[in-house]
DNA sequence: AACTTTTTTCGACTCTCAGTCGATTTTTTT
DNA sequence: AAAAAAATCGACTGAGAGTCGAAAAAAGTT
């Protein structure tokens, strides 16, 4: 009654690696079971569908990232840095994502979409906390925090998602979030160092 | 030497309708050829792949919308209205898109993505023209127009794409574009009437 | 008209892949 | 040891995209 749990973890591990290295669409269930050395039926004993596997793989990924974000939230960095830090916690994990996701977007649309949605669900409330803290401290000065935060995250997702963003994109992005939050001009300028790479 | 052209248009027409009503993924090539009353081989005589058909269907859609946008651009409405009008030209064509695209996003991801990309390509330069005109007239006051415009379009896409945006989303969106363009506060307030429906 | 060439059409076939299912083996419970 | 539950197996199905060589239709040539 626990051998099953181990097998499931093993399958998630394999799926995770293959989805990242070859892309979701390019990884067939047959690929996964070949790698695991099991039969089709066994796979479907643990997952109702390939898509559900994806779902669980993503949740697993985001769990780690949520932890990181919460650590930053609990820290005592200045608000501006917290804000950016929490958002950045969810940036793809080094070489992991970047390998394939960036490249052949076509083959990863579903994965990408699911990540974006799940990420949004988790990230918005965390960033809202930071932003509200910022308002209390007088660093930001606006209402409708959740909506503003949502839009900031949308922008950060879409703009920095591809690899072809420019210096100017960064500059404008920073200016935009400063103005959206009614923060002191220049207070977010430090972000430029972090994003550029 | 022109019967072929007619057939191709016919196929695009059929594909267009079916993609919109049933979704791209849910429309098989077999569905299309059944509707057209032709054989598989004939279809592939005109299109190298189902995806290429999608590509051409979308281009066709966007052609119409580009015309509308250009008409507005050439008009002499006030800048603020032009800006919004041009962007709104690319909103899905009444009942057309809304039918299915909004609903089962899952089945339409590729279509959605392609529309977004192609739309961006066409819309950004048009909106830039308006914005630059606005700067010349002193209505807006900022540099890096293309980047700002891109972000505005991203926001309008993502925020108003789903049907569950709120009054507050609209308010914040308006505030954001005013501030991104350094426009007079309230100068864009009229948008609220248009978006609400 | 008789032919040749080009364009268009046909549909059976292949290949890939997700998912099913009943049978069998392994593990746990009693 | 027997019964029950959990885990595994792999052949099979069904759907759907794309291929290909052959045939029919249309256009061009003499």
Other CB atoms within 10 A of residue A72 CB: 19
A185 touches strand D (CB under 7 A): no
The 8 Å CB, 24+ separation contacts for B180-183 are B180/A175, B180/A176, B180/A179, B180/B142, B180/B148, B180/B151, B180/B152, B181/B131, B181/B134, B181/B140, B181/B141, B181/B142, B181/B148, B181/B152, B182/B140, B182/B141, B182/B142, B183/B80, B183/B134, B183/B139, B183/B140, B183/B141
Residue B90 has pLDDT above 70, yes or no: yes
Q: In the structure, what pLDDT confidence band is assigned to residue B1 with cuts at 50, 70 and 90? A: low
Which residues in chain A are closer than 8 Å to B176, comparing Cβ atoms?
148, 151, 176, 179-180
| Å between CA of A5 and C1' of D8 | 15
pLDDT at B155: 97
Q: Please, what sign has the CA dihedral across residues B155, B159, B160, B166?
A: negative
pLDDT at B67: 94
pLDDT tens for A84-126 read 999 998 877 655 666 666 666 788 899 999 999 999 999 999 9
Residue A79 has pLDDT above 60, yes or no: yes
Nucleotides of D under 7 A from a protein CB: 6-12, 15-22, 26-28
CB atoms B171 and A110 under 8 Å: no
Q: In the structure, what pLDDT confidence band is assigned to residue A18 with cuts at 50, 70 and 90? A: very high
Q: Are the CB atoms for B46 and B8 separated by under 8 Å?
A: yes
The span from the CA of A181 to the CA of A177, in Å, is 6
pLDDT at B53: 98
- What is the pTM assigned to this prediction? 0.92
pLDDT tens for A124-182 read 999 999 999 999 999 999 999 999 999 999 999 999 887 789 999 999 999 999 999 99
Residue B95 has pLDDT above 60, yes or no: no
Which residues in chain A are closer than 8 Å to B175, comparing Cβ atoms?
180
Residue B72 has pLDDT above 80, yes or no: yes
pLDDT tens for B105-159 read 788 899 999 999 999 999 999 999 999 999 999 999 999 999 999 999 999 999 9
Q: Are the CB atoms for A57 and A63 separated by under 8 Å?
A: no
Which residues in chain B are closer than 8 Å to A154, comparing Cβ atoms?
154-155, 158-159
Angle at A74 between CA A88 and CA A71, to 5 degrees: 50
CB atoms B176 and A176 under 8 Å: yes
pLDDT at B5: 86
Q: How far out from the chain centre does Cα B99 lie?
A: 15
Q: Are the CB atoms for B159 and B169 separated by under 8 Å?
A: yes
CB atoms A155 and B154 under 8 Å: yes
How far B104 CA sits from the closest chain A CA (Å)?
13
A6 touches strand D (CB under 7 A): no
pLDDT at A1: 58
Q: In the structure, what pLDDT confidence band is assigned to residue B62 with cuts at 50, 70 and 90? A: very high
The chain B residues in contact with chain A (CB within 8 A) are 105-106, 109-110, 113, 144, 147-148, 150-151, 154-155, 158-159, 166, 168-169, 171-173, 175-176, 179-180
The span from the CA of A38 to the CA of A11, in Å, is 10
Other CB atoms within 10 A of residue A33 CB: 18
Nearest CA in chain A to B182: A179
Q: What is the DSSP letter of B184?
A: P
How far A162 CA sits from the closest chain B CA (Å)?
12
Residue B196: name the closest of B172, B160, B162 by CA: B160
Q: How many residues does chain B have?
A: 197
- Give which of A55, A107, A111, A172 to mutate to test B binding, by max B Cβ within 10 Å: A172
Residue B196 has pLDDT above 80, yes or no: no
pLDDT at A106: 81
pLDDT at B99: 64
Domains defined along chain B, listed by start? 1-48 (1.10.10.60), 57-196 (1.10.357.10)
């Amino acid at each position: 009654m626990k051998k099953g749990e181990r097998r499931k973890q093993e399958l998630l591990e394999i799926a995770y690696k293959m989805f990242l290295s070859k892309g979701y669409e390019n990884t067939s269930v047959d690929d996964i079971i070949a790698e695991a050395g099991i039969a089709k039926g066994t796979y479907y004993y643990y997952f109702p569908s390939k898509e559900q596997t994806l779902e669980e793989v993503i949740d697993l990924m985001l769990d780690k990232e949520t932890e990181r974000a919460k650590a930053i939230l609990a820290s005592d960095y200045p608000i501006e840095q917290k804000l950016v830090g929490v958002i950045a916690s969810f940036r793809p994990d080094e070489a992991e994502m970047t390998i394939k996701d960036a490249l052949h977007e076509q083959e990863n649309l579903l994965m990408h979409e699911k990540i974006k949605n799940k990420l949004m669900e988790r990230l918005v409330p965390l960033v809202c906390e930071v932003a509200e803290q910022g308002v209390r401290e007088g660093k930001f000065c606006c209402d409708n925090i959740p909506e503003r935060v949502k839009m900031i995250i949308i922008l950060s997702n879409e703009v920095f998602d591809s690899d072809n963003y420019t210096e100017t994109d960064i500059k404008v992005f920073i200016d935009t979030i400063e103005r959206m939050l009614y923060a002191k001009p220049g207070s977010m300028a430090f972000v430029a160092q972090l994003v550029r790479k």
